[in-house]
Structure 1
Amino acid sequence: MTDVVAEPTPEVRPDRPTEKPNRPYFSSGPCAKPPGWALERLPHGSLGRSHRSKLGKSRLQYAIDLTREVLQVPDTHRIGIVPASDTGAVEMAMWSMLGARPVTLLAWESFGEGWVTDAVKQLKLDPKVLKAPYGAIPDLAAVDFTNDVIFTWNGTTSGARVPDGDWIPAGREGLTFADATSAAFATPLPWDKLDVTTFSFQKVLGGEGGHGVLILGPRAVERLESYTPAWPLPKIFRMTKGGKLIEGIFQGETINTPSMLVIEDYIFALEWAKGLGGLEALVARADANAAAVDAIVEAYDWLDHLVADPAIRSNTSVCLKFADSAVAGADEAAQLALVKKLAALLEAEDAAYDVAGYRDAPPGLRIWCGATVDTADIEALGPWLDWAWHSIRA
């Protein structure tokens, strides 16, 4: 390994592109707003009102109902809006339900690693941990479903996802906990295989941060009503009272005060999604965007996918690495410096915002391809990536 990026072979530098993405928002969270979004288009009757008023609760319930409709969640599952984004939803489930039986955690990127840390260091459990490096996933056939199983459906920081739910048995003994924050609304989720599912507004639908969504299947409710963990639970994690589920949480009565502005913003995105044609249309948009990134990778020999296997490659958080041999052979610090320069140049040109890879991931780029991004903008991004690369390497 070398500590500097080697000088490139002299080559023809491409002309500066003339066409820019109309909306150069490629951040992996908070993500691009839905096309046509504008602050003045949000209903504001609930703003300044109590979230416990008839109006406030009705808007929260409407958000839950639209979530069920667009995600095609069966009536057997409860949906609640909870504090602290997807992280809060995952923590709420882990602290409330783990400890009843052995636990297996799957980790192949930073957020999965975070759930391992919580299980080991905070809850003091002794879980079985199945790990894989960035760009891969663990052996799903090795998962023991007599245990509770926690995994990220889509690794936001690595771009690797599970291919489907076929690896999860219908007759499992433990519960499945799926952190689906960058998968919900971009891929069909097999609700019969998922006991606990979490996500946040600010990913595929481009909502604002601070709130999470927790979806519980019947087996998860049974666990909550039959098991009391050995550790104390903070108030914002408590979902039962007197051994019974607090049903109000799943009927618009949030545990703490939500931002009604965020809720109205989420409702706007859900109505936009419903108007497109629902889940199938959202998946199709994400797939088209990911295919546009595939075409960019094919066009430029200095760029490659971090996830080599297309079967497990994300259609939302698409992560890329440097294929140029001189750069790939440099040390991590040199590659990170190059990423920083690329991202800064693209932002200065208003051609792409927030495309640097995640700080814990291998050096490279990350292009968000969720449903709120227009495919034409990704297609317009390609020449800018190539121009910025050659401008810096020159």
Structure 2
Amino acid sequence: MSMTDHPAERPANPRFSSGPCAKRPGWALEALGDAPLGRSHRAKAGKSKLAEAIDLTREVLQVPADYRIGIVPASDTGAMEMAMWSLLGARGVDVLAWESFGSGWVTDVVKQLRLDDVRVLEAGYGEIVDLSTPDFSRDVIFTWNGTTSGVRVPDADFIPADREGLTICDATSAAFAQDLDFAKLDVVTFSWQKVLGGEAAHGMLILSPRAVERLENHTPAWPMPKIFRLTKGGKLIEGVFRGETINTPSMLCVEDYLDALKWAQELGGLRGLIARADANAGTIADWVARTDWVDFLAADPAIRSNTSVCLKIVDPRVTALDADAQAAFAKAMVQALEKEGVALDIGAYRDAPSGFRIWCGATVEATDVAALLPWLDWAFAVELERIGKAA
């Protein structure tokens, strides 16, 4: 068979987007039939659903009993902004960035909050900062898993248990797929539309007792928008962490999140979710090992993501092209795969190096990942032939 012949099998579900991510296997709109639509979220039915979402989050993610969990507006971004605007300013801050979202937090701290004592520790796409360099007598902000670079921290061992500052962790593409060491994390944020394939616009904010203490003893120097306010009269607004949300949530989205959490329970909880993501990423790793035209963006296996798997083209016939031509080559492959209906939304993030980003979270089936890989080989061969670079 010619390399440009179509592979025999196709993914049953071509959705490999890194957010919003694929719905759980078997999902259907009928799963949302119990949503209390047209009702106040402050009525008994709505409050019960919101409290259940918090309780199941704690159970599946294995969040310590003394940590608060709140549902907040504006997805992971809203949760991170709420944390930074509410907590920062009491100490100096180290901001770690190795991809676009981490760089966004740098911009907010430096240009929007305009804090005086800020250190920015940065690394390029596919790399990670030297984790021995953050100063934990200061507050430290970092992403656990760089969604746009395919890089994650290997573990939380770099964070001391006796730290003086707070650790603020954007965990949106890590939660439910990687082990988060909550004892080392004071703030954890994520959104529903990542590993569990939930709907967008709602964020989760998890606070340690140390973070709560900071909230109750530190008054920021700037005006605080209502949508960010977590304290009143110097005390935590506990209702936010019982499901009494600051703004009106979508009860349809809440129902969808509950459906995903219950599916996670059926898989065996966190361990089952991690196992599925690891298996999916492992399938790609095996293919990369035997395929000479492609490699991981992250060279070090210890820091490679098992969710947002980022790949680059390394074939010399392509790397000899200028940067624009390389980007066009990868884009043409992505478009060909989408036209065939076998892979949707797998192009690299707009700010990242050209290549591919394949979501491997738990809602993706291993059989679909395996079926996708021959199509990547096919698209590469077709594009080489088109530009006249075939061997």
Identify the TM-score tier after normalising by the shorter chain.
over 0.9
Give every structure 1 segment of 4 or more consecutive aligned residues whose post-TM-superposition deviation is greater than 3 Å.
none
User: Given the alignment, which residue of 6, 28, 36 partners 1:38?
Assistant: 28
CA apart distance, 1:45: 4.1
Matched, 1:259 2:250: yes
Structure 1 residue 180 and structure 2 residue 194: aligned? no
Structure 1 residue matching 2:150: 3-state secondary structure: coil
Q: In structure 1, which of residues 326, 336, 357 is the aligned counterpart of residue 348 of structure 2? A: 357
* In structure 2, distance between residues paired with 1:235 and 1:325: 54
Does residue 385 (structure 1) correspond to residue 381 (structure 2)? The answer is: no
Mapped to 2, the partners of 1:199 and 1:286 lie a distance apart of 17
Partner of 1:5: none
Q: Secondary structure at the match of 2:19?
A: coil
Offset of residue 340 of structure 1:
1.8
1:66 partner amino acid: L
- Which of 6, 10, 24 does residue 14 from structure 2 map onto? 24
Q: Is 1:306 the counterpart of 2:336 in the alignment?
A: no
Hey, what's the Cα distance between the residues in 2 that align with 1:363 and 1:210?
Answer: 28
Superposition map of 1:236-251 within 5 A = 236-251=227-242
The CA distance in 2 between the partners of 1:151 and 1:41, in whole Å, is: 35
* Deviation of 1:388 (Å): 1.0
In 1, the alpha carbon distance for the partners of 2:183 and 2:237 equals 23
Q: How does 1:67-78 map to 2 (within 5 A)?
A: 67-78=57-68
Aligned to 2:364: 373
Q: Which residue of 2 aligns with 1:6?
A: none
Paired residues for 1:199-278 under 5 Å = 199-278=190-269
User: Any conservation in 1 of the 2:35–2:252 contact (CA below 8 Å)?
Assistant: no
2:37 matched residue in structure 1? 47
Task: Output aligned runs, 1:56-71, within 5 Å.
Answer: 56-71=46-61
Q: Secondary structure of 1:141's match?
A: coil
User: Displacement, 1:43?
Assistant: 3.0
Query: Match of 2:146?
Result: 155
Cα distance between partner residues in 2 of 1:337 and 1:195:
42
Task: Compare 294-303 and 187-196 and name the one that shifted more.
Answer: 294-303
Distance 2:35 2:199 in 1: 19
- Which of 105, 128, 144 is matched with 2:95 structurally? 105
In structure 1, what residue type is equivalent to 2:112? Q
Cα distance between partner residues in 1 of 2:35 and 2:297: 46
Whole-Å Cα distance in 2 between the matches of residues 295 and 240 of structure 1?
50
Q: State the alpha-carbon separation in 2 of the partners of residues 332 and 255 from structure 1.
A: 46
TM-score, normalising length: structure 2? 0.97
C-alpha deviation, 1:48, in angstroms: 1.1
> Which residue in 1 is equivalent to 2:388?
none
* Distance apart, 1:327 and its partner CA: 1.3
Quote the offset at 1:125 in angstroms. 1.1
Structure-1 residue corresponding to 2:327: 336
Distance in 1 (alpha carbons) for counterparts of 2:339 and 2:317: 26
Structure 1 residue 332: Cα displacement: 2.3
CA distance in 2, matches of 1:374, 1:39: 20
Residues 307-340 of structure 1: CA deviation (Å, up to 9, x unaligned): 0100000000000001111212322221221222
Q: Deviations over 1:285-320 (max 9, x none)?
A: 000000011122123211110001000000000000
- Residue 90 of structure 1: CA displacement? 0.3
**Gap runs ≥5 in structure 2:** 386-391
Separation of aligned partners in 2, 1:86 and 1:28: 14
Secondary structure at 1:207's aligned position in 2?
coil
- The structure 2 residue matched to 1:297, chosen from 288, 291, 300, is 288
Q: Deviations over 1:128-169 (max 9, x none)?
A: 011111001000011100000000000000001100011100
Report the Cα offset of residue 44 of structure 1.
3.2
Aligned-partner residue type, residue 54 of structure 1: K
Deviation, 1:14, is 4.1
User: Shift of the alpha carbon at 1:214?
Assistant: 0.2
CA distance in 1, matches of 2:48, 2:236: 21
Q: Which residue of 1 aligns with 2:307?
A: 316
Aligned length: 384
Equivalence for 1:7:
none
Q: Partner amino acid for 2:326?
A: Q
Paired position in structure 1 for 2:389: none
The DSSP-based 3-state class of the residue aligned with 2:174 is coil
Q: What residue is the counterpart of 1:122 in the other structure?
A: 112
Classify the secondary structure of the residue corresponding to 1:304: strand
Partners in 1 of 2:2 and 2:292 — Cα distance? 14
Aligned pair partner of 1:347 in 338, 348, 355:
338
User: For 2:322 and 2:282, how far apart are their aligned partners in 1?
Assistant: 30
Alignment check: 8 A CA contact 2:89 2:115 kept:
yes
Please, which moves more after superposition, 324-333 or 156-165? 324-333
Secondary structure of the 1:105 match is strand
The gaps in structure 1 that reach 5 residues or longer are 1-10
Q: Which residue does 1:3 correspond to in 2?
A: none
The partner residue of 1:96 within 39, 62, 86 is 86
Structure 1 stretch displaced more, 326-335 or 118-127: 326-335
CA deviation string 1:201-230 (max 9, x = no partner) = 000000111010000000000000000000
SS of the equivalent of 1:142 reads coil
In the superposition, the TM-score normalised over structure 1's length comes to 0.96
